[in-house]
Amino acid sequence: MIAVHPVLLIAIPLFFAFLLPLIGLFSKKVLKYVVTGTIALNTIIALLVFREALNSPIFDILGGFKPPLGIVLMVGPLGGFIALIINMAGLIISIYGMEMKKEPLVKYYMLSLLLLMGANGMVLTGDLFNLFVFLEVTSIASYGLAAYNKDLKGFEGALKYVILGSIGSTFVLIGIALIYSQLRTLNMLDIATRLNEMDPYVKIVAFTSLFLGFGVEAEMFPLNTWVPETYDGAPHSVSAMFASMSAKAGIFALARVIFTIFAFTNYLWFVVIMGVLTVFFGEIIAYAQRDIKRMLAYSSIGQMGMILMGLGIGTTMAVEGAFFQMFSHAMAKALLFIAAGYMIYATQTEKMSEMKGIGRNPLIGIPLLIGILSILGMPPFIGFYGKFYILMGGFSEGYYAIIALFLAASLVEVAYYARFIKIAFEGGGKRYPSPKATVYIPLLLFAVIIVIFGVYPKPIFEILSHVTTFLTGGV
């Protein structure tokens, strides 16, 4: 018997999302508290699920039919960890989301709850087709949220996202069709054990299709052209959600396709190359950006590429680094997007060159600095461990050329963030309105997490020691 059912992580947001329109009929003011309360409840459940998953993987059988006949949720330590990160980030972002003023608010809250639910489902499910369904839940919620501002920029970004997202989901379905036609099953572990019954060529095509399909959500080159415009056009809280929730769910789905389902060890070079291309594409173009949100979006692509590289190198160390990077990037990038939201609001412009002295207010400046340093991989913050472990992993595998490229990209990253820091802390700027509680509380919370686990990363490494089972096809 399971003490806490992981399915609650999906059922609770769904239930409240269906309930919100009814609540909205009576009072629109309580909506934001209901949403934050729901996500807080979800975070507590995620914590309980995660604690239980650390001991042994949880299989939550749905409908009472044993897999592969029914759908099963399977939560290992790593899945529980990612789910916890997603819910935690969602909780903190929802505090910032309370500030949202643009109507229709009910729909905004419904969409954001369902985005959380979809991301949770993508991380927890153990069934390939169910993964596709949750991928669609996540991406359709994202399409709606991306166009929420209802201006030209928002619509353009959303349209790009819809087009690439549909191509991605077509590829996922082709992959599923290929696998199903040869094995007549959809359960991930069932597929993994019977993989050798498949024709080798069909296997590679199926892998490539799934890889490309989930690559859209995971911001992989060349399917990531939607990222800058969508992040730029979306409301600020939504950009933070994309970076910390849906992108993380996407990359974890990708990791499970690579390791849990296919366990391809001799095609990992392909993943590394895609990762390096993604890093380069992101970082180089980020350098040329003048708008803060576009720069952050491209930087997000670069970071996702680093995670992909870590997964592709495939040693225990590198994959640990990749998971650490998922954690640090989710926290730091959400922080930066929220800070960017405040800065755009305070300066009335997106141009970085006009944000002189915005960081002089310590309530903004300190978290901003912490977030940027963590993204850059400076030692006392969590961003350091991810990058360091990926590098060391690559070093031990002899990917020297790749490491050189990685370091070069990191230098570019340092250059453009340093440029921004210089402007933000320069004297002689205007006086800006000081941030509201809904802005600085999330910023400080993220900053505290970044510092605490940066100074004391031991608990995270204990969780990540389960990477060894993950790499050998465990849950």
Stretch in the footprint of other proteins (CB under 8 A) among 7-15, 277-285, 347-355, 463-471? 7-15
Q: Which of 7, 82, 223, 412 binds other proteins (CB under 8 A)?
A: 7
Q: How far apart are CA 50 and CA 320, in angstroms?
A: 17
Q: How far apart are CA 154 and CA 147, in angstroms?
A: 5
Look at residues 111, 110, 112 and name the one whose alpha carbon lies nearest to residue 87.
112
The number of residues making up the chain comes to: 475
Residue with tokens 């009072």: 27
Q: Which of 44, 56, 65, 422 binds other proteins (CB under 8 A)?
A: 65
Stretch in the footprint of other proteins (CB under 8 A) among 28-36, 67-75, 84-92, 422-430? 67-75
Pairing state of beta strands 72-75 and 58-61? Answer: antiparallel
Residues of span 425-444 touching other proteins by CB under 8 A: none
Q: Which of 30, 56, 150, 401 binds other proteins (CB under 8 A)?
A: 150
Q: Which of 9, 92, 98, 158 binds other proteins (CB under 8 A)?
A: 158
Is the CB of 12 or the CB of 443 nearer to other proteins? 12
Is the CB of 191 or the CB of 271 nearer to other proteins? 191
User: Nearest 5 degrees, angle CA 64-CA 467-CA 400?
Assistant: 140
Going residue by residue from 238 to 277, which x/- string records binding to other proteins, judged by CB under 8 A?
Answer: ----------------------------------------
Q: Phi/psi class of residue 184: alpha, beta or left (left: φ > 0; alpha: ψ in -120 to 50)?
A: left
DSSP-based helix, strand, coil % in the chain, nearest 5? 75, 5, 20
> Is 147 near other proteins (CB under 8 A)?
yes
> Is 202 near other proteins (CB under 8 A)?
yes
Q: Which of 30, 44, 69, 401 binds other proteins (CB under 8 A)?
A: 69
Is the CB of 184 or the CB of 436 nearer to other proteins? 184
Stretch in the footprint of other proteins (CB under 8 A) among 21-29, 75-83, 234-242, 420-428? 21-29
> Is 152 near other proteins (CB under 8 A)?
yes
Q: How far apart are CA 258 and CA 268, in angstroms?
A: 8
DSSP 234-295: S-HHHHHHIIIIIHHHHHHHHHIIIIIII--STTHHHHHHHHHHHHHHHHHHHHT--BHHHH
> Is 460 near other proteins (CB under 8 A)?
no
Q: Provide CB contacts within 8 A for 23, sequence distance 6+.
A: 30, 31, 34
> Is 15 near other proteins (CB under 8 A)?
yes
Residues of span 163-192 touching other proteins by CB under 8 A: 163, 165-167, 169-170, 173-174, 176-178, 180-187, 189-190
Q: Which of 64, 398, 427, 428 binds other proteins (CB under 8 A)?
A: 64
Contact yes or no for 261/188 (Cβ under 8 A): yes
Is the CB of 187 or the CB of 325 nearer to other proteins? 187
Q: How far apart are CA 231 and CA 39, in angstroms?
A: 23
For the bound state, the minimum distance from the C-beta of residue 274 to other proteins, rounded and expressed in Å, comes to: 17
> Is 107 near other proteins (CB under 8 A)?
yes
> Is 62 near other proteins (CB under 8 A)?
yes
Give the 3-state secondary structure of residue 72: strand
Residue with tokens 């755009």: 344
Is the CB of 262 or the CB of 446 nearer to other proteins? 262
Q: How far apart are CA 162 and CA 193, in angstroms?
A: 35
Q: How many residues bind other proteins (CB under 8 A)?
A: 88
> Is 225 near other proteins (CB under 8 A)?
no
Residues of span 365-424 touching other proteins by CB under 8 A: none
Count of beta carbons in the 10 Å neighbourhood of residue 348: 7
Residues of span 111-130 touching other proteins by CB under 8 A: 111, 114, 117-118, 121, 126, 129-130
Look at residues 131, 46, 35 and name the one whose alpha carbon lies nearest to residue 87.
46
Is the CB of 16 or the CB of 81 nearer to other proteins? 16
